Structure 1
């Protein structure tokens, strides 16, 4: 019986350890998702700023050769 009790104890310890690891991984995934969302929001803001600057600049100057050519 002691052998079965030891085996059950080891299995319970393994399950507890795996549960703790899963919780840690879940927390890390949640944090990474938050960072991704922040980065996406920053990219959206930068894209809007770039488009506004591009609209303000008007047409691009013609591509001509410099006078020394």
Structure 2
């Protein structure tokens, strides 16, 4: 009986090791996705802030008096 149990036991051990490895990989991937999501969220806020600043600058530039400057080729 020990001969037939030994291959099953080895197979079970291998499957358990795979499950542990997969759980660890899933946890690492989850941490990576969470970190990327936080970075994307922060970058989206920065882009929104910069877009607002550009819009404000464009609006205030339209209201400002034109500046008499020589063309760039001088």
State the 1:38 CA deviation.
Answer: 0.5
Point out where structure 2 has 5 or more consecutive residues left out of the alignment: none
The answer to whether residue 55 in structure 2 is matched with residue 44 in structure 1 is: no
Aligned counterparts of 1:21 and 1:58: Cα–Cα separation in 2? 55
What are the superposed Cα offsets for residues 18-62 of structure 1, whole Å, 9 maximum, x if unpaired?
Answer: 000000000000000000000000000000000000000117x7x
Per the TM alignment, residue 14 of structure 1 is displaced from its structure 2 partner at its CA by: 0.2
TM-score computed with the length of structure 1 as normaliser: 0.84
TM-score by length of 2: 0.78
Let me know the Cα RMSD of the aligned residues.
1.3
Unaligned runs of 5+ in 1: none
Count matched residues: 61
Q: Report the Cα offset of residue 17 of structure 1.
A: 0.2
Give the 4+ runs in structure 1 shifted more than 6 A.
Answer: none
Q: Distance in 1 between matches of 2:39 and 2:11?
A: 42
